[in-house]
Amino acid sequence: MSVVVPRTLKDALSATAANPSALIIQGGTDLMVEINFNHRQPTDVIALRLIDELRTFQINQDNKQVTIGAGLPYQTMEHGEIANLLPALAQAARTVGSPQIRATGSIGGNLGTCSPAGDALPVLSALNGTVNLQKADSARSVSIHDFMIGVKRNSRQPGEIIVSTTLPIVTGWQGYAKVGVRNAMVISVASCCLVVDRANGTISVALGAVGPTIVRCRETEAWLATKIDLKTKSTVAPKLLQEFGDRIAEESRPIDDHRSTAAYRRHAVAVLSRRLLTRANAQ
Amino acid sequence: MKTNSEIYNLTVNGETHQVRDSWVGESLLYVLRERLGLPGSKGACEQGECGSCTVIMDGQAVCSCLVMAATAIDSDIQTIESLSPNGVLTEVQNAFITEGGVQCGFCTPGLVVAIEHLLSQNSDPSELEIKEAISGNICRCTGYGRIFEAVENAISVRKANNR
Ligand SMILES: Cc1cc2nc3c(=O)[nH]c(=O)nc-3n(C[C@H](O)[C@H](O)[C@H](O)COP(=O)(O)OP(=O)(O)OC[C@H]3O[C@@H](n4cnc5c(N)ncnc54)[C@H](O)[C@@H]3O)c2cc1C
Ligand code: FES
Ligand code: FES
């Protein structure tokens, strides 16, 4: 049994190289629940909580991208610079758990768990984010869409540490909305992130908790671009808005489970996506 | 950098405690209560939902049930026990008593820690900020009305005391 609490990423990477199957823990808000309920009995643990490098963010020089450390807690994304540059991420972060959970929970942990209900993930998907991983002797970056491979499954290799995610700064409206059974502390029943890229005249819509991983609605995105000019603000006619939501619902792949039914989830993503598109064109 | 999982030190309420013979997966809540003789933090759900185990770790309010104790080395941990070391209650604790914010009392330590944390950062919070700050703490008895009254009362007593 060993517990390693490195202070630098370099030391953490040596630790994962020495013991690729050791359990990595950041905030512990997913893992400790499993451990407390005896669903997991760790022996070797590498804790990333004291690594400052993973708890920072950088705005890349040309002001086109933000790179967010895997260990940065959600509470840092709710306000300030990240919230200004990535409002959808701030909105998603704001919906996670409670202040106690947001003080330690991280995007690295959300990616590690890779639940279809993870609130950061639709934002990463809608923004075409990149996940940056490192091993002691190598580094790679993968698209979020290649990182998420199934329900609670991702393409991280043994020994790899998720170090950060890189997200583009987009001009245009973006937002996140989620349905749950109460206001605070609730895992999503269905969620939606919508990003309008005014410069390129495109829209992207990603849905949470309605498929094995996040669902990107590429068909509806392409369809809408043929119906309205996304480079300028335009009112969306009620009929078009209706059809937009219907098409989004059509692209979702929800199931019945302990949290909700497929039918309700399909309805919810139609309503959420229409609401977000309306907001996008109101401001 | 490496801690032997069987013996490690935690800094709780300003004192260094040695933890012996502990299993690596033990939560900070468990270690505080069962190994360090600090039963003030309560455990109800052990899944981050109820907030009754709230402690301050490096200046943040966190659920001690979600902290792996063996990784909490080199951190400053403050529990409910730190608030009134000589038995003199804080304004928040007094207000809970005078406003009837305590019924069974199980949620109280976590709520008091969360509220003390809020007031240490923001001495004059709005109603929404108060609600937000305790949205991670569940009380099954009071219906929260008396808890909000206790917070309002504590704020005005603190103001009168120039805090
Ligand atoms: C009460 C409660 C409410 C919650 N509410 C929400 C919610 O509303 N929305 C939501 O999305 N989630 C919620 N969660 C789940 C959880 O908080 C999030 O998934 C969070 O992002 C996990 O981050 P963490 O740092 O705590 O992860 P940890 O528990 O530390 O780790 C989670 C997984 O990721 C792996 N991992 C972590 N960091 C890395 C890394 N850098 N490299 C490689 N692997 C890594 C771990 O090995 C583990 O498999 C909630 C949890 C609780 C207890
Ligand atoms: S016991 Fe920790 S939140 Fe309930
Ligand atoms: S007083 Fe009983 S749970 Fe709050």
The domain locations on chain A are 174-282
Least confident of A224-238, B26-40, B141-155: A224-238
Question: What value, to the nearest 5°, has the Cα angle with vertex A205 and ends A203 and A206?
Answer: 150
Mean pLDDT of the residues in chain A: 96
Q: Which of B34, B41, B53 to mutate to test the pocket of ligand 2 (most atoms within 8 A of CB)?
A: B53
Distance A119 CA to ligand 3 centre (A): 30
State ipTM. 0.96
Helix (H) or strand (E) holding B11: strand B7-12
pLDDT at residue B5 in the model? 55
Of B109, B71, B11, nearest to A22 by C-alpha is: B71
Q: Position of tokens 């260990």?
A: A71
Across the range A245-252, mean pLDDT stands at 98
Which residue in the set A3, A29, A33 is minimally distant from B3, CB to CB? A3
Closest chain B C-alpha to A216 CA, distance in angstroms: 30
Nearest CA in chain B to A1: B5
Residue nearest to atom 7 of ligand 1 (CA): A96
- Predicted local distance difference test score (pLDDT) of residue B151: 98
Instruction: Give the pLDDT band (50/70/90) at residue B1.
Output: very low
The listed CATH number (3.30.390.50, 3.40.190.10, 3.40.50.280, 3.10.20.600) that belongs to domain A174-282: 3.30.390.50
Amino acid identity, residue B35?
R
Q: What percent of chain A has pLDDT over 90?
A: 92
- The whole-model pTM stands at 0.96
Residues in B touching A6 (Cβ below 8 Å): 1
**Tens digit of pLDDT for each residue in A124-150?**
999 999 999 999 999 999 999 999 999
Q: Does A43 touch chain B (CB under 8 A)?
A: yes
Alpha helices, DSSP H, located in B6-140: 28-30, 91-98, 108-121, 127-133
* pLDDT above 50 for A32: yes
What are the chain B neighbours of A32 within 8 Å (beta carbons)?
Answer: 27, 48, 65-68
Cβ contact B25–A185 (<8 Å): no
Q: How many alpha carbons fall within 13 Å on the CB side of residue A95?
A: 29
Structure token digits, residue A279: 């907001």
Q: Do A28 and B70 touch (CB under 8 A)?
A: no
**B15 three-class SS:** strand
Interface check for A50 against chain B (CB to CB < 8 A): the answer is yes
Question: Which regions of chain B carry the CATH code 1.10.150.120?
Answer: 91-160
In this structure, the number of other CB atoms found within 10 A of the CB of residue B61 comes to 27
Residues of B in contact with A103 (CB under 8 A): 60-62
Judge if the beta carbon of residue B40 lies within 6 A of ligand 2: no
The pLDDT of residue A57 is above 80? yes
The average pLDDT across A191-211 equals 97
Q: CB neighbours of B96 closer than 8 A, spacing ≥ 6?
A: B102, B108, B111, B112, B147, B150
Across residues B102-112, what is the average pLDDT?
Answer: 98
Query: Within chain B, which residue ranges are assigned CATH 3.10.20.30?
Result: 7-81
At B21-55, the pLDDT tens digits run 899 999 999 999 999 999 999 999 999 999 999 99
Right CATH for B7-81 from 3.90.226.10, 3.10.20.30, 3.40.109.10, 3.30.70.1450: 3.10.20.30
Residues of A in contact with B132 (CB under 8 A): 99
Q: What average pLDDT does this structure show over A59-83?
A: 95
- Give the tens place of pLDDT for each residue, A91-112: 999 999 999 999 999 999 999 9
Q: Could you tell me which residue, A16 or A233, shows the higher pLDDT? A: A16
- Whether CATH 2.60.40.10 fits B91-160: no
Mean pLDDT of B151-162: 94
